[in-house]
Amino acid sequence: MAKKQIRDLLRATPGDGRFRMADVDPASQPGLKGGHRRALRDIKAHQAVLFGLHERLFAERKRSLLVVLQAMDTGGKDGTITHVMGHLNPQGVQISAFKAPTAEERRHGFLWRIRRRLPVASDIGIFNRSHYEDVLVARVHNLAPPDVIDRRYGQINAFEKGLVRAGTIVVKLCLHISYQEQRRRLVERLKDPDKRWKFNEHDIDERAYWDDYMGAYSLAITRCSTAWAPWYVIPADDKAYRNWAVTRILMETLEEMNPQYPRPKLDIPRLLRRLKP
């Protein structure tokens, strides 16, 4: 029997037509046997495999991979990029962070700034926040009329389907932490002088909207976890498990893509003669 993939365990598949964030325990560790230490060992062992798969994608130069990271504040987006994507070949990685839209970006449709940051063939693009901000923050804080936000789910699905048809595989990762774990991480930032630079008092204000955000995430995942671009909801209270799960999902995705090294037509004997001592 084939080994069950982590993607199967963490894929958000609404069984009754609706996905609920509350149904995922942020402290759980699906698929991991051996806990924290096993996760760390596996991550180290898989780094070379992931690098090799990325090298093949880079050499092939036909397709790309887009990794979308969404999470509540302190959810681990930066940490995931550092500890997982940091082991990829930097030549073939594009990292884009999407904060509040600029005045210029607001003059265009919400997908305009996203299209400008898409990875080219051969690269892995990483979105630290993404177009989903326009159905998450926008819904929680009423930044657009309800009918406008409602149309965006369909626009996102069509946009992502177009990316896949054009050769960009889309992997969407929701790093799910608990309300209590977020508080612990914010307290840690305040108490550690070397981490205070990351603290933003606005994060405390946003905690008041926690339930609203969970509802917005649940709806976005329900509406936009598609066959061509599924959502994976990763329990992220434990950072080692989070990194382990993301590493496995990227490995499984790239293995399924199965990129190949090019086979250029070269006159090997002639070229070797030219390389005489």
Whose CA is closest to 135, among 198, 182, 227, 70?
Answer: 70
Q: What is the pLDDT of residue 1?
A: 36
Burial label for 65, CB within 10 Å (0-12, 13-18, 19+), is: buried
Q: What is the pLDDT of residue 140?
A: 97
**pTM of this structure:** 0.94
Contact in structure between 211 and 51 (CB atoms under 8 Å): no
Whose CA is closest to 40, among 271, 245, 240, 277?
Answer: 240
Alpha helices (H) along the chain: 6-10, 35-60, 77-83, 103-106, 112-115, 133-140, 146-165, 179-191, 202-207, 210-224, 239-257, 268-274
Q: What span, in angstroms and rounded, lies between the C-alpha atoms of 153 and 158?
A: 9
Q: What span, in angstroms and rounded, lies between the C-alpha atoms of 253 and 259?
A: 11
Q: What is the pLDDT of residue 198?
A: 86
Q: What span, in angstroms and rounded, lies between the C-alpha atoms of 42 and 57?
A: 22
Class of domain 6-274: alpha beta
Q: What is the pLDDT of residue 35?
A: 87
**Domain-wise residue ranges, the chain:** 6-274
Q: What is the pLDDT of residue 16?
A: 60
Question: What is the residue whose two structure tokens read 């955000």?
Answer: 213
Whose CA is closest to 221, among 75, 25, 23, 64?
Answer: 23
Tens-binned pLDDT, residue by residue, of the chain (277 aa): 346 799 999 999 855 678 999 999 999 999 999 888 899 999 999 999 999 999 999 999 999 999 999 999 999 999 999 999 988 999 999 999 999 999 999 999 999 999 999 999 999 999 999 999 999 999 999 999 999 999 999 999 999 999 999 999 999 999 999 999 999 999 999 998 888 888 888 889 999 999 999 999 999 999 999 999 999 999 999 999 999 999 999 999 999 999 999 999 999 999 999 998 8
Distance of alpha carbon 269 from the chain centroid:
46
